[in-house]
Structure 1
Amino acid sequence: MTSEEWADNALADILGRVAVTGAEVGGRFPLFADPDSGRWQTTGRGAWTGGFWAGLLWLRARYTGAEADRAAASACTARLAAWVDADTATRGLILWYGTGHAVDDAGAEELRNRAALACLDAFDPELGLVPWGSAFGGPRLLARVDAVPGMVPLLASAGTEGAGAAASHLHRHIDLCHGGHPLTPTLCFEPDRGWQACADPPPGWSRGSAWLLLAVADALHRPGVAALGAHRLEDVAAQLAVPVAGAAAQLVPLADAARPDGPRDTSAASITAVALLKLAHLPGPRAAEYSSRAVAILKALVTAHLTGRNGARPAGMLLDGCYDAGRGIAERHELIWGDFFLAQGLAALTGLVDIRRV
């Protein structure tokens, strides 16, 4: 099988799975699926993952060119509109990835523009970031590393002011989260003590460095953001890429680095692969290394963790994703964002999408 064939076949299986999932969930949003039966746990409004389902539908519409698939993607994206004014920095994840792959869809473009302005309005100049927010309960004034991906390109789409806010949001999170090793995923602002590290997610959380690497890669592809600290961002990207540059066993990281006997997290690997593909499109001495590592990760995911066409389980499931190791929730499951980023990476390899733009 040629290098192109394995990616083509895997992408076809994942996007075929999207059609099966759509028939199962109807007007709800898939979250994670049982690794044996393939049945999905769903949410009514999409939570912070709703944009990844819309994004998968758009990828399928691009792949098939079918009007029915395009209409399904457009309808799903429209259901994300309730999140535009929600007090949450996960609007970056929801409304960037839910609209970024849309094809000639005025509704998606309008939704993205509204979301960008709403997030810009939520930017706190004193803190230098868009706070995590209160939409999901708990303290509002959090800096969380998963508040950065999606938010950077979304803010950057709001003109010069938006690019400045995007740069500040990213650099502030780098200041707070990337100061030590391992990365600190979450901090809470206390008026009398300033920023204080939180225990959940813990240092060593697999998606912490993956999310930040993705945000840095996106920033470097946006001149208005990159102009406000490109050299630093290049250095941070190189530092974050180091943990995935070792032995083959590290291609799919542990969900919690402090639990060497615990589950791995294929969703973190797929996020990392997409980030590395983006970095590989930038000029510099590491471009070939980033590209090679990204392809190695994608191939490992397809070879060892993606269900095939002749098994008892549905084809196109990216297994061994870990939703929440600390709480023991869906530790070896198919995760909707894992599927999305694997599909996005494969779509980039096969030429279906330009990874620099989404």
Structure 2
Amino acid sequence: MNRNWDEAISRMKNRIHATAQQVGDGFPHWADPNTGIWKTTAHGDWTGGYWLGMLWLASRDEGGEGYKHLAEAVCKRLASRVNADTAFKAATFYYGAGLGALLGASKSARELGLAAARDIEQRFNPKLGLVPLGENAEEGSHVGATASSIDSLVVSLLLFWAARESNDSQMRNIAAKHTARVLSIHQREDGAFVQSSSLDVQSGQVLQRYTHKGYSESSIWARAQAWGVLGATISCLSGGIDERFLTAAVKGADWWIDRVPADRVSYWDFDDPAAPNTERDTAASAFMASTLLKLSSIAPSESKRQKYKDAAKKTAAALVDGYLTPVEDHDKRPVGMLVEGCFNKREDSRPEDYVSNAELIFGSYYLFEALLILSGRLQPSDV
């Protein structure tokens, strides 16, 4: 598939500009798909780093100095969360601060990212063999302090980056242990990823594996599958090829490709019996478009590399053509919104996350990243 992705990139940059004008001191969380008005968080929650990530990416293009200046200012506001007791802050600081160092050569962002990484390193629990979610994690009060989840692979992203940045072999070792343990607990033999687990505080034994945010406790939530493949893939790119992680990424990617709908955009949960009459999750699909491009650069065979690259292109094209609001929009929606992201449709979700059709800042980030890779403006190993 030969395609010029510049027009879609332009749409998304238009949306970045509009978002910057709208959110002020807040961090965009999700936006109404009809009006484009953002629900914001004051301190970034776990999603705030993705807004910064979009700014760091946009700062590399021609005329990007304004985005870099804004990113520098916004990044400083993350300082209050460096010591927060949540594994999910790793996403905030990897995409919000780590990318500032990688893409913007920002010294202040680098220091914030390293500080957060050092705090997370201290939270590694040798009995559990991983960094638990923490009391202040998004669902920490629901599932307990010794719980884990496939989402917590964001810890690996931050720690591998920080270990490389500071030449810290101990941190790298902890990142590898965390990655291996989380993957071993949450990936089934067939390649699917189960979202959550409960662990015994003394022995580290797995007491239960279940899906916390999907259709049922045994179903495969689309974003869990995407998190698993993303975490395993970036761990290989950032920490060096580890056959355990690469195998997990390949099995997870193949599982997704074999089961995603023909139009390449996943349902919110692969096991929802209402499909095809159920919500899609464009955010999970954007995760996979970006991740498959990364995986295509390290997959173990040429046939696999081509398979993942082709699947990524088709997924990105489906998202752009079907879900990215156009310049000429008959419904008068803002340009460049990636709509139909299913944040959380379960009634026991946090109120701020209870929306099943929205523009999700993390979905927009991953589509933007994928488009920049497809256009040649970004290399898979850059982020």
**TM-score, length-normalised on structure 1?**
0.92
Gaps in structure 1 of 5+ consecutive residues: none
Give the Å deviation of 1:258: 2.7
Alignment of 1:123-162 (within 5 A): 123-136=124-137, 137-138=140-141, 139-149=144-154, 151-156=155-160, 157-158=162-163, 159-162=168-171
CA distance in 1, matches of 2:64, 2:185: 45
Alignment of 1:311-350 (within 5 A): 311=329, 312-327=332-347, 329-350=354-375
- SS at 1:148 equivalent: helix
- SS at 1:188 equivalent: strand
Which one-letter code corresponds to 1:277 in the other structure? L
- SS at 2:188 equivalent: coil
CA distance in 2, matches of 1:105, 1:222: 19
Which one-letter code corresponds to 2:197 in the other structure? L
Which one-letter code corresponds to 1:153 in the other structure? L
Which one-letter code corresponds to 1:249 in the other structure? A
Summarize the Cα distance change of 1:308–1:79 in structure 2 as closer, same or farther, 3 Å threshold. Answer: same
- Contact 1:255/1:263 (<8 A) preserved: yes
CA distance in 2, matches of 1:251, 1:101: 28
Tell me the residue number matched to 1:268: 284
Residue 247 of structure 2 is aligned to residue 213 of structure 1: no
* RMSD after superposition: 1.9
Summarize the Cα distance change of 1:330–1:105 in structure 2 as closer, same or farther, 3 Å threshold. Answer: same
Residue 65 of structure 2 is aligned to residue 67 of structure 1: yes
Gaps in structure 2 of 5+ consecutive residues: none
Which one-letter code corresponds to 2:327 in the other structure? R
CA distance in 2, matches of 1:199, 1:337: 21
CA distance in 1, matches of 2:299, 2:248: 16
- SS at 2:28 equivalent: strand
Give the Å deviation of 1:8: 1.0
- Contact 1:32/1:335 (<8 A) preserved: yes
Tell me the residue number matched to 1:295: 313
- SS at 1:273 equivalent: helix
Give the Å deviation of 1:4: 4.5
CA distance in 2, matches of 1:112, 1:4: 36
- SS at 2:39 equivalent: strand
Deviates most, 269-278 or 59-68: 59-68
CA distance in 2, matches of 1:250, 1:85: 42
Deviates most, 267-276 or 155-164: 155-164
Tell me the residue number matched to 1:120: 121
- Contact 1:243/1:250 (<8 A) preserved: no
- Contact 2:250/2:299 (<8 A) preserved: no
1:50 aligned to which of 48, 51, 62: 48
Summarize the Cα distance change of 1:64–1:99 in structure 2 as closer, same or farther, 3 Å threshold. Answer: farther
Deviates most, 63-72 or 273-282: 63-72
2:193 aligned to which of 172, 183, 186: 183
- Contact 2:128/2:201 (<8 A) preserved: no
Deviation track 1:58-92 (CA, whole Å, cap 9, x = no partner) reads 12222243332211111111111222111111122
- Contact 1:244/1:251 (<8 A) preserved: no
Give the Å deviation of 1:250: 5.6
Deviation track 1:185-226 (CA, whole Å, cap 9, x = no partner) reads 0112244774323451243111001001001111111345x3
CA distance in 2, matches of 1:88, 1:100: 18
**TM-score, length-normalised on structure 2?**
0.87
Summarize the Cα distance change of 1:238–1:250 in structure 2 as closer, same or farther, 3 Å threshold. Answer: farther
Q: How many equivalent residue pairs?
A: 351
Deviation track 1:271-290 (CA, whole Å, cap 9, x = no partner) reads 11111111111153111111
- Contact 1:83/1:91 (<8 A) preserved: yes
